Structure 1
Amino acid sequence: MYKLFVKRIGLIGITNFLVAMNTIILIPILTKNFSAIDYGIWVQVITTFYLVTSVANLGFPYTLIRFVSAEKEKSKIQNTFYTMAVFILIFSLFISTLIFIFSNVIASLLFSGQVLIVKILSFLIFFGTLNSLLIDFFVARSKMKRYSILLLFQTYLMLSLVSFFAVCGYGIILATVGFLISQIIFFIVMTILVYQEIGFKIPEFSKIKEYINFSIPIIPNNVSTWIVESSDRYVIAIMLGTTFLAYYSPGYTIGMALLLFFTPISIILSSILPKYYENGQMEEVMMFINYSLKYFLLIAIPALFILSLLSKPILMILTTPEIALNGYLVTPFVALSAILFGIYGIIMNLIVLEKKTKIVGSIWTIAALISLLNIIFVPIFGILAAAGITLFSYSTAFLISIGYSKKFFRFYFDYTFIFKSIFASVIISILIVLINPIGFYSLLIMIPLLILIYLIIILLLKCVTNKEINFIKEIFKE
């Protein structure tokens, strides 16, 4: 049972690493071929795409996982999937049409007057919303290998097309068209695969009320989460200009790379925990939660120190000196925010199992209200204010979720382990300061060396038990 859990985390972990590399690879390609203004517009396209799709999907992708993961009867799976698909199709078409109609206004406000890009974005949002449900179907059915392959296909198809148009000098508009083409191709492929899996059935809509009652609280949660994650970029673009957004975004991306270690855990937990919960196996549920917290922090804590101290030289390699010198201090704030979000994301599974999705929405509504402080402080203190408020928002969501969850469930933080991990991270941080690596080859040698030293210290401090070491060895043997 636990071996399968860890194997799946490894599979999704590798997948998400490769997916995240797409974002990292695009940074030098776009920043070195676009002006700072055009790169800022690209950031706005991506930010808006994920915002609107998270609303237009009505929270149904996550609802699908909750209601289908433990279901075995094909007709019920069909009815659930196609009920949600119809509602998403209608609503995403409505949202995309509105964006297309008001493209002039949106472009002048957020996209430096690029009306055509906003019109392309409207089509992007339509297909992207449908794709979010289609791909989560395979998560709901615990088909993690297929999910991983499809996610990589989607990611690197987009990377290839966008990179081609950017490197060939076709500009921001055709790069956005490349993004759209990748979404359309992915939609066609996914539709065929889902049809092969479950066929087609006209939905009865008999349980739509239950689905909506579960998903509706997720929508304000998605919106509030987006406000926390991305509203800073809108405020920066509107009040400081897209050039400052270009300074801010790469440092933010480097910091959020920490979520690489959280995403696979989150995906696996959301698909397997309902099965144990529905069978009353709460001891197993809590075992998964506690191990997930430990594995995440084991990697995330040293990554926080490494990324924070090496942000400047990394950005000097990936971007231009102008962007690196203006944006490297953003990374430490965002990296710590990512750790807090990762812990929250693991704990949140317990709240969702109890179907207490309303509290999730309330948590992120509070965090979103804090994020509105960007409107006051960004014009005064610049992009570092946005980074600081991001940390404040995530800290609030983390603290409230921990306090609420402890009313219903018993989980623990291994504070001894956390202290030892921080101690080992401080040691490697001292080495970074003393050596001060600069340049690609220095970092290429330094980062693996730091990881090795950290692991040695962790083993010497016995942060990982012999039982856990043997368990991991057995997994790799298989």
Structure 2
Amino acid sequence: MIDSSKLLSDLGLVTVANALKKVRGFIFLPALTKFLGPEGYGVWVLALLLIQLVLPVASFSLMDGILRYLPGESDRETRVRVGNLSVFVLITSTAVCLLIVLVSDVLAVTVFKGYELAVVVAAIAVVPSVLFQFNTRVVRAQQHLKIWSVLDTGQRLLELVTVVTIAFTGSGIVHVLTGLLAARAVGAIVSFGAVVSIIGTPLLKWPNQEYRYVQFSMKIIPWSLSRWFIDSSDRFLISFYIGASAVGYYSAAYTVAMGLRLLVQPLMTVVSTSLPQLFENDSKQACQAYLTQSSRVLTVLLPPAMVGLSMIRTPVLSIISTPPIAEAGAVVLPIIVLSIAAFSVSEISTQPLLLTERTGFISGVWIIAGFLNLGGNMLLLPRIGIVGAAVSTVIAYVVVALTLYLATSREIRPKFDWSLLAKTTAATVIMVPVVDTLLGSGLFNLSVSIISGFFVFVTSIYIMGGIKKKEIEFITGFFR
């Protein structure tokens, strides 16, 4: 029997951490643009993309292996696995760091506008970034979501304060990236201390049974790289076909649309943490029930969020950007929202395949989707501009979501509640005129329309029986 209150409680903890991530992005955008200028901000974005790109390779995607297998290990085995694998990722991330440093001059000329030192600092930052992710995945695998939330939130706050403070002093992009490096080094050290407090001092006993973790995780590397390609390569292609200004329009819309992930990412964090333990206990029925409950949450969240973001896109973009960006970004934002929704559905469908170790199949699907996305961009970008990039991404994510769902075992596949979707759709339709009537220019009118639309939707779906009374009581209690 799946405890809905436990699921919602975990979601509340993770939502706080993920909310800060989205808020941090909104603060970084105007702050760094003002203090670093367009070129400096561009180098900042490229540095973060570089770190994000190499993380799966530098870590061998062991974070996924940890979530899959560590919950089923005994206490001593856990200490041995963590000790051996932490040394392994330290070696692999250092090797990737050195490789980037060796080609830093080439990257500086071709991509980073001559900022070779910025490439070097970004390369060094790969090591603490990998270690922090490794340590926090261990914490999640041990079911300590409160500690994980504190670590994640603290790390994001530290990076925000450090980076913005250094930028405010008038220092250049290299100093700002050095501040990011220092913040991530602190995060790696503190998170390792958290791991020690939970499992005890990690032990070294090499070689052991770690090949299972490595074998499982290596198959995920192509999947991770393909996801990065679909999610980020369109920015480079837009710049190539249209120009840098179009990248600005698209990126601003993407930043707002990613607000949808604020609702979905906490759910996926909790699901990916809890399912392996259920599966290791040979409880396929419990896994299916847990996934079904999670899909219900997704069914309630996505429709109103998609419609709501699409309705408020123009005033939001006007507040955080310039009129030209707001005008162009408003056109493409609803399509981007649809792609993010499709990606969120694909994440639910991925979980049963990870449990049954079908990582090669998952990677194959994402590789095909990556080529599909590339072909779509090359075909549509020259003809319909940034709308073409958004359409190509939607097509790729829809193909992934449908393929992965159909490939899941019927024993674990989540049961979809069509009646709940109908109730959610009806409640969303009722919400629309309320938001449309109250929506206007300015932050106050925007806030009133969002809050009013939220209460109308919740009230409507509660009356229809889509949300249970105990779930309403828990949510209101969480905000007290």
TM-score range, shorter chain: over 0.9
DSSP 3-state at the match of 2:143: coil
Residue 120 of structure 2 corresponds to which residue in structure 1?
Answer: 119
Residue of structure 1 aligned with 2:273, choices 271, 274, 277:
271
Q: 1:124 to 1:377 in 2, by over 3 A?
A: farther
Give the conservation status (yes or no) of the 8 Å contact 2:438–2:445.
no
Relative to structure 2, which stretch is displaced further, 125-134 or 187-196?
187-196
Q: 1:381 to 1:205 in 2, by over 3 A?
A: farther
Deviation digits for residues 231-256 of structure 1, max 9, x if unmatched? 11232344444443232222112112
Which letter does structure 1 place at the counterpart of 2:96?
I
Residue 445 of structure 1 corresponds to which residue in structure 2?
Answer: 448
Q: 1:241 to 1:73 in 2, by over 3 A?
A: same
- Residue 212 of structure 1 and its aligned partner are, at CA, apart by 2.1
Separation in 1, partners of 2:263, 2:343 = 11
Residue 326 of structure 1 corresponds to which residue in structure 2?
Answer: 328
Give the conservation status (yes or no) of the 8 Å contact 2:438–2:449.
no
Matched ranges for 1:53-452 at <5 A:
53-74=55-76, 76-197=77-198, 198-373=200-375, 374-452=377-455
Q: 1:52 to 1:243 in 2, by over 3 A?
A: farther
Q: 1:313 to 1:33 in 2, by over 3 A?
A: farther
Which letter does structure 1 place at the counterpart of 2:400?
A
TM-score relative to the length of structure 1: 0.93
Deviation digits for residues 135-164 of structure 1, max 9, x if unmatched? 111001111111100001110111111111
- Residue 468 of structure 1 and its aligned partner are, at CA, apart by 4.9
Q: 1:155 to 1:199 in 2, by over 3 A?
A: same
DSSP 3-state at the match of 2:231: helix
Q: 1:363 to 1:378 in 2, by over 3 A?
A: same
Q: 1:466 to 1:145 in 2, by over 3 A?
A: closer
Give the conservation status (yes or no) of the 8 Å contact 2:431–2:456.
yes
Q: 1:36 to 1:415 in 2, by over 3 A?
A: farther
Gap runs ≥5 in structure 2: none
RMSD, matched Cα: 2.3
Percent identical among aligned pairs is 27
- Residue 320 of structure 1 and its aligned partner are, at CA, apart by 2.7
Separation in 2, partners of 1:243, 1:39 = 14
Relative to structure 2, which stretch is displaced further, 142-151 or 261-270?
261-270
Gap runs ≥5 in structure 1: none
Separation in 1, partners of 2:75, 2:315 = 54
Deviation digits for residues 157-195 of structure 1, max 9, x if unmatched? 111111113333324333222211211111222233333
- Residue 420 of structure 1 and its aligned partner are, at CA, apart by 2.4
Separation in 2, partners of 1:221, 1:112 = 30
Q: 1:109 to 1:422 in 2, by over 3 A?
A: farther
Give the conservation status (yes or no) of the 8 Å contact 1:27–1:250.
no
Q: How many residues align?
A: 476
Deviation digits for residues 211-245 of structure 1, max 9, x if unmatched? 22211111111111111111112323444444432
Relative to structure 2, which stretch is displaced further, 195-204 or 339-348?
195-204
Q: 1:193 to 1:463 in 2, by over 3 A?
A: closer
DSSP 3-state at the match of 1:372: helix
